[in-house]
Structure 1
Amino acid sequence: MKFTSPTLLLTTAALLLAASAPALALDSFDAVRRAHQPSDTAVLDRDGVLLQRVRTDATVRRGQWIALADVSPALRTAMVLSEDRRFYEHSGVDWRAVSAAAWGNLWNTRTRGASTITMQLAGLLDDELRRAGGGRSLTQKLGQTVAAGQLERQWRKDQILEAYLNSVSFRGELVGIDALSRTLFGKAPHGLDAREAAVAASLVRAPNAKPARVAQRACEVMQAMESSEADRRRVDCSALDMFTSAALQRRAFDPSEGIAPHLARRALQERRALMAKAGATDGVDTELRTTLRAPLQRFAQATLLRHLRELHGRNVEDAALVVLDNASGEVLAWVGSSGELSRAAEVDGVLAQRQPGSTLKPLLYAQAIAERRLTAASLLDDSSAQINTASGLYIPQNYDRRFKGLVSARTALAASLNVPAVRTLVMVSPEAFARQLRSAGIALRESGGYYGYSLALGSAEVSLLALTNSYRTLANGGRFGETRILPAAQPATATQALDARATFIVGDILSDANARTRTFGVDSVLGTRFWTAVKTGTSKDMRDNWAVGWSQRYTVGVWVGNASGAPMWDVSGTSGAAPVWAEVMGFLHAREPSRAPTPPAGLVQLPVRFGEAIEAPREEWFIAGTEQPLFARDTPAADPEAGARITAPADGSIIAIDPDIPPTRQRVRFEAHGSGLQWRIDGKPFARGNRALWLPWPGRHVIELTDARGRVLDQVRLEVRGAGVLARH
C-alpha cells in the first residue's frame, strides 16, 4: 500500500485554498487594540486621573490592554515554550508540527497540537474561525491557516504575541493576561515570576482542567524554561501543586476598587440614563470622565477616616462628605462612606435620607427676613414655650437645656438656639416653610403640616447632597441650580429661589464669630482664616451630626453618624462633622483667597442699639424699609403693620368636621398678631380684630389678614373635610 504524506496533503490543500480565496479583511494591529473592551469602566476625574474601576460587563472578565513590554519576560518565554516553540521561526504555520500531528493522528499516537500562536490569534479575531464546542471544521482549519499567513505578512511578531496575550481565554470568564494576573496572582502582568508564568501558560492548553492537571502541565513548562538538566531536576513539582491549587481558588480582582466607589456608581447611572434618553443602544464607554478633583477626593477621604478614628469609643463609624463648586454646581468631591470602618460601606451617605437637625434654620430665617417678619436685629424670646398643635402641646428645648432670654435674630441663628427658631416658624408657618425648602432643592416626603413646628429643628429627612446644594443656593444669592457630576458643555440654568437680600444677611450672620460665642465660645473650630459661613446641626438623640457651609467659591457638607441609625456618644456639632469641614475648607483655600460677598441692591446698614443692654451696639444689615435704630422690649417696629401675621390656624391645616357634634356648634378660631386688622375668607370680608370664630364649611379656603385699607398682610390656606351646614356668604 502506498501512503501519501499528511504534510503534503495539508500543504496542498492550504495552498489551493490560499490561491482560490480572496484575501481576508484582517484588521490592523492598532484597530484590534482600539477595539479591545475591558469588562470594567474606568471612572476618571476632571483631568483624566483614575478615581475608580468598576466592573460593568458581567459576561466576561477582561482587564486593560497590556503592551508586550509590560508583560514579564518569564511569561513571554513560558507562553512560547508551551504553545509555539518555533514561533519566531515560522511564517504563521509550523509545518513540522503539522506533520507530527498528522502522523500521530494516523497512527493514533498522542502528539502536541499543531496550532501556532498566530493561528490561534486568527481564530480569536475572526468569529467565523472561532472554535466551537465540537472543535473546528476542516474548512475553519484551512481558513485559519490562510489567515495566519496573512497576519504574519501584515503584523510584526511582537504585535502578534501582544494581541494573543490580551485575547486568549485562560480559565472560566478570564480573558487576557491582565484579568488572569490580577485575579489569580493579585498583581500586574509585569510582576509575574517563573512559577506564576508557568501556571498561566498551562491554563491556555486546558482552561478548565483540575488543579492537579494544571500543576503537572506547569511543572513541565517550568522544566522547559530551564537551560540545564540540573536546573530542570531542581524544579519542585509538589510545591508547585500546592501553589497552583491555591492560585486557582483566589479571586483578587475586585469588582470595584479606587477612591470614589459611590460617585462612580452614581456617574454610571447618570450616563446610562443620558444614553437611554438619547436613544443610544451602545454600552457605556470604558472610560467615564467626571467633575471630581482626584487630589481633593483623596484628601477628603483621608480626613474623614482619620477623624473617625479619633472618635473611637464614641459609637460612631460612618461619615460622608460632598464639595460643590458654587458657580457651576459641579461636584468636586464625593465621599459616600467611611469604607473599611463601616459595617454598611455600600450605603451612600451623600444620598441617604437623614434628619438635618439645626441645619435647616438658615433657610427658615432667610424666609422670615425676606417676608419682613424679622430683621437680623429683631428680638426673639428664648424662654420656655408651649405651642398648641393638632396633636397636643409642642415644647421645644435648646441643645444645652438652658434659655437665654431675649436675643436678637442674629444671635439666635448663629448660636443655634432652638426656641427662637420654633417661634420664627410660627410666624412663617410649616407649610410655607416646606414650600420654601422645596424651591431650594430639598424635596420633603410629606407636607409641612405633617412635620409641624418641629420642622424648624430638622424633623424632616434630607440628603447631604440636597442640603449642601441648598446652602450653595444661599451662597449664590438665592439662585438655585442642580448639581452635576458629569461634565457638560452648557452651564446649568438657575432660578431665583430665595430673596438675595435675605441670603446675604443670613450669610453675614453665619460668618459672624462674635454672634456664635454664646454656644460655641470664642475659639470655635468653625472659625477660619478666610471668609466662610457655616452652620452645624445635630438630630435627635445624637443620631446625625452635620456641618455645612460655604466660602466665596465652594460649598462643603459633612455628615457624621451611623448608617444603622444608632445614636453616637457625646458627639456634638463641633466635635463631629465640624473639624472635617474646617480641614477640607482649609485645603481648598490653601492658596486661594475667599472674600465676603458684595451686598446686593436693596440693603442698608446702620448702627443699632438694644434696650436694657440686651446685646452690645453694632452695625446691622436690613432690607430697605425694615431698618430701625433701637430694639428693646415692647418697642414698636418702624412699620406697625410689618409684623402683622396670622398665628392660628397654621397654613395648610386640614380641619375635619365631627359628625357627632352639630355643625352649628363647631367653630374654628382665628388668631393674629398686630393692630387694626381685618379678616377675609375667600376674598370676602368676615371679621375685625385679632381674634375671630368661623363656622366652617367643606372645601378649600384662603384666609387673608388685611389692614384697614384692604392691603393683604398675611394669608393661610386650609381645607375643611366632612359634612357641614350650607355655605353662607
Structure 2
Amino acid sequence: MYKYAGLCLVFLLSTSSLAANLPAFKTVRAQYTSSTIQLLDRNNIVLHQQIIHHQQQRLAWVQLNELSPALLNALLVSEDQRFYQHQGVDWRAIAGAAWENLVHNTHRGASTLTMQLAGLLVPSLNRSAGGRTYSQKWRQIKAAQQLEHIWSKSQILEAYLNLVDFRGQIIGINAASNALFDKTPSQINDDEASILSALLRGPNAKADIVAQRACGVARQLKQNSANCLAIQQISLATLTTPPTLNLHPQIAPEVAQLLLKNTQKNVISSLDYTLQNSLVQHLDHLPLAAAVILDNSTAEILAYFSSDHSSNQVTNPHDSETMLQPLIYASALTQKQYTAASLLDNTPRIYNNTPAAIYLDYSPVPNWVSLRTALSNTLNLPAQQVLNSLDTNSWNKLLLHLNLNTGENTVLALANAYQMLAYRGVYRPASFHIGGLKTRDSIYPANSAAIINDILTSNASTPAYHTLITSDSWAIGSDAHYTMALWIAHGDDVLNAWLNIENELLQHTPSPAPKLPSKLIKRLIRFEPAIEAPRIELFLPDTDLSVIKPPKAVSAMSAVMD
C-alpha cells in the first residue's frame, strides 16, 4: 500500500498539464437554464409553473444574498472550512486525507469547493462511478487554482450551490430547498441546512446515514445545542421517497395550458396577479364556475378562471340567451327605432292558441313596460319584441363579429361584448397581449352605449359606479376600469359572488361614474297613463319626447302566437 501511494504521489508531482479552459462567471450564469417554465403576470409575478425537463430538475438561479446564513455556514463547515484562506486547493486537507487513507485505508476526500466546482464546469473532469483518475485529480487541482484567479470567492460559492447535485434528479440549492422542504433558500433553518450540506457528501445515501452526517455538521455549528433527534425525524420524513419539485403558485392552469404550449421560455401575459388570485380565492371552492376580467380600454385579459381544470369552462359555451339583451336594445337605439322610454308589450303570450294557455314567459310586471324597465329586469318578452324588429342579417353579422351565438355563448365572448359597451361601443378582441391588440371596430355610437350602461347602472347596489346584469347562472358588469363576466352552474348565488369580487376590486381601484357624452339629451318625462313614475330620461338627438304613451297600433291585450 505504501509503495502504491508513493507511486501515486510521484505521478501527481511529475504530471504536467495545461490549465483547463474555464468559462467566465457571467457565461456560466447566462447559460444556466431552469427545468421549469413560468407563466408571469404583467408585472413579472409568477402565476404558474410547469416542468419541461424531468431528467434534471432545476429552479431559477439564486444569488448568494438570497441564501440563509445557516445554509452558508453549514456548507463551509461540512465541505470547506478553510475556503476563504486557500487559493483553490487546501494542501493541509489533502495531506491529512492522504495520510488517513494510507494508514487507515479510508476513502476520505479533500476536494475544496473550488475543486468541486471545477469538476462541474469542465466535462473532462466529471467524476465517473469509480472516482476520478489521478490525472483527472491533478488537472482538477490546476483548474481550481486557475478558477481562483478569474472568479471571486462569492462567485465560486454562488455557482457551486446552483450547479451541484443534491438528491435524485434535483440540482441546485433552489430546487433542493423547494423539493425537500417546500421553502426558498432564504428560509432554510439550521437543521435543514445541516441536512442539505450532508447530502453533498452522498446525494443518494440512505436517510439514516444522511441524518448521522447532518448531526455531525450541526454539532460543529452548535456544539452542545445540536438537536440530532429533530434532524433524524426531518431526514426520515423528507428522504425516504424521491424528492419532487413543489411548483407554486399554480393559480392560472388554463392560461398556462394556452400560453406555455410549445415553448421553452417564460411567458409574460396580460394577467394581473392580484385580480387572478381574487377569482381563485372567491370561486375555487365551486365545482363549476368560470370568470373573466377584462381591461375596459384595451380588452386585455386581466384574470381568467375555470374551477373545472379538466374542461375549460371559460371557453365552453353555456346557455346565455338573456345576456344578449343589452346588445339587442343597443342595436334598436342606434337605429332610432326605440328610446329608453319606449313602451313595450310585456303581456304573457299563449302558445298555438291552445286551451291550456301555456305561457312562454311569466313576469310580475304586467302589460306595458318601458325599455329601461325591461332591460333592468331582463324581461324576455319585450326583448323578443325588439329583436323581431331588427334586421335578421345585420343581427346575425353582429353576433358573428363578436363571436356570439343566439343560444349558448362563452364567458370570454360575453365579457368581451360587455367590455365593448363599457368602452363606448368600440370593440377590441380580448387577448393576453400586454397593451391589447391594435384591432378596433366601432360597433355602436358612444351615445347608444352610454344609454345602455346607464340603464344597467340602475341595478348597482354599492356607492361606487358599476353596471350589472344578472340572469340564471350569469352576472356581468363593468366598473370604471374593468369588465367582469361570471358564470356559475345552477346559479349558485351568482349575484353575491359577483358583488363580493367587485367590492374587493373597488377597495384597490375607486370607480367614479363616467361622464355622459355631450350630445345625449336629458329630458323629464311622464307616462300617460301613469305606467311608470316620472323621471329624467336619456335620449339620442332627435328622439326625445316629454310624454310617453303606448303605441296605438299595438293592443295591450294578449296576442296570440301562431
Give the 3-state SS of the residue equivalent to 2:414 in structure 1: helix
Matches of 1:44 and 1:156, distance apart in 2: 33
Q: Taking structure 1 as reference, are residues 419 and 473 closer, same or farther at Cα in structure 2, changes over 3 Å only?
A: same
1:415 Cα deviation (Å)? 1.8
Q: Secondary structure at the match of 1:616?
A: coil
Query: What is the TM-score normalised by the length of structure 2?
Result: 0.83
Q: Identify the structure with bigger relative contact order (alpha carbons < 8 Å, sequence gap 6+).
A: 2
| 8 Å Cα contact 1:504-1:599 kept in structure 2 | no
Change beyond 3 A, Cα 1:351–1:124 = farther
Contact 1:84/1:117 (8 A) holds in 2: yes
Identity %: 33
> 1:239 and 1:481, CA in 2 relative to 1: closer, same or farther beyond 3 A?
closer
Q: Tell whether 2:213 aligns with 1:217.
A: yes
Task: Return the offset for 1:470.
Answer: 0.6
1:411 aligns with 2:373: yes
Report the CA distance shift for 1:25/1:140 in structure 2 as closer, same or farther (over 3 A). Answer: same
- Distance change >3 Å, CA 143–CA 53, structure 1 → 2: farther
Alignment partners' CA distance in 2, 1:598 and 1:376: 16
Shift of 1:97: 4.6
Q: How many Å apart are 1:326 and its aligned residue?
A: 1.9
Q: Is the 8 A contact 1:267 1:486 kept in 2?
A: no
Letter in 1 for 2:153: K
By percentage of residues, which structure has more strand? 1
User: 1:466, CA displacement in angstroms?
Assistant: 2.0
| Deviation at residue 206 of structure 1 after TM alignment | 1.8
Superimposed CA distance per residue, residues 685-711 of structure 1 (whole angstroms, 9 cap, x where no aligned partner): xxxxxxxxxxxxxxxxxxxxxxxxxxx
Task: Check if 1:577 corresponds to 2:498.
Answer: yes
Contact 1:92 1:116 in 2 (8 A): yes
Q: Distance in 1 between matches of 2:491 and 2:296?
A: 32
2:9 aligns with 7
In the alignment, which residue of structure 2 is the partner of 1:199?
195
Structure-2 change in CA distance of 1:93 and 1:531 (3 Å): closer
Where does residue 530 of structure 2 map in the other structure? 613
The separation in 2 between residues aligned to 1:578 and 1:630, in whole angstroms, is 36
| Aligned equivalents of 2:327, 2:124: Cα separation in 1 | 66
1:608 Cα deviation after fit: 4.7
Equivalent pairs counted in the alignment come to: 550
Counterparts of 1:542-691 in structure 2, within 5 Å, are 544=473, 546-559=474-487, 561=488, 565=489, 567=490, 571=493, 574-581=495-502, 583-584=503-504, 586-587=506-507, 589-590=509-510, 593-599=512-518, 608-623=525-540, 630-635=547-552
Q: Could you tell which deviates more after superposition, 205-214 or 466-475? A: 205-214
Aligned equivalents of 2:444 and 2:475: distance in 1? 21
CA distance in structure 2 between the partners assigned to 1:625 and 1:533 by the alignment: 26
The residue aligned with 1:355 is: 319
1:402 CA drift (Å):
2.9
Q: For residue 67 of structure 2, what is the aligned residue in structure 1?
A: 71
Secondary structure of 1:27 counterpart: coil
The CA deviation string for residues 474-530 of structure 1, in whole angstroms up to 9 with x for no partner, is 122322112233325x8622012345443233223223x3xxxxxxxxxx6x24435
Determine whether 1:57 maps to 2:52.
yes
For the structure 1 residues 528 and 300, does the alpha-carbon distance in structure 2 shift closer, same or farther, using more than 3 Å as the test? same
Native 8 Å contact 2:57 2:171 kept in 1? yes
Letter in 1 for 2:142: V
Return the offset for 1:296: 4.8
Amino acid at match of 1:380: L
Q: CA deviation at 1:321?
A: 4.0
> Is contact 1:396-1:422 (8 Å) kept?
no
Question: Is residue 556–residue 585 contact of structure 1 (8 Å, CA) maintained in 2?
Answer: no
Q: 1:381 to 1:256 in 2, by over 3 A?
A: same
TM-score by length of 1: 0.66
Question: Would the alpha carbon gap of residues 121 and 430 (structure 1) be closer, same or farther in structure 2, given more than 3 Å must change?
Answer: farther
Please give the alpha-carbon distance, in whole angstroms, between the structure 2 residues aligned to 1:376 and 1:271.
Answer: 46
Match of 1:325 in 2: 295
Match in the other structure for 2:426: 479
Does structure 1 conserve the Cα–Cα contact (< 8 Å) formed by 2:39 and 2:269?
yes
Cα deviation for residue 360 of structure 1 reads 1.8
Alpha-carbon distance in 2 for matches of 1:374, 1:133: 85
Structure with higher Rg: it is 1
**Contact 2:451–2:538 at 8 Å: present in 1 too?**
yes
Post-superposition CA distance 1:114-155 (Å, at most 9, x none): 432212111222334333556545554443222211111122
Query: 2:191·2:231 contact (CA, 8 Å) conserved in 1?
Result: yes
Per-residue CA shift, 1:359-378, capped at 9, x if unaligned? 22101222233345433233
- Kept in 2, the 8 Å contact 1:61–1:175? The answer is yes
Alignment of 1:251-650 (within 5 A): 253-257=245-249, 260-262=251-253, 266=255, 269-270=258-259, 283-285=264-266, 288-297=267-276, 304=282, 319-332=289-302, 334=303, 336=305, 344=308, 350-356=314-320, 358-386=322-350, 395-398=359-362, 401-428=363-390, 433-442=395-404, 444=405, 455=406, 459-463=407-411, 465-488=412-435, 492-511=438-457, 513=458, 526-538=460-472, 544=473, 546-559=474-487, 561=488, 565=489, 567=490, 571=493, 574-581=495-502, 583-584=503-504, 586-587=506-507, 589-590=509-510, 593-599=512-518, 608-623=525-540, 630-635=547-552
**Would the aligned equivalents of 2:12 and 2:135 in 1 still touch at CA under 8 Å?**
no
Instruction: Give deviations 1:383-403, integer Å, cap 9, x for gaps.
Output: 222457xxxx995324xx534
State the distance in 2 between where 1:76 and 1:377 align: 75
Aligned-partner residue type, residue 492 of structure 1: K
Distance 1:246 1:90 in 2: 37
In structure 2, distance between residues paired with 1:144 and 1:508: 77
Q: CA deviation at 1:413?
A: 0.7
Question: How many Å separate the matches in 2 of 1:380 and 1:29?
Answer: 76
Separation (CA, whole Å) in 2 of partners of 1:224 and 1:623: 84
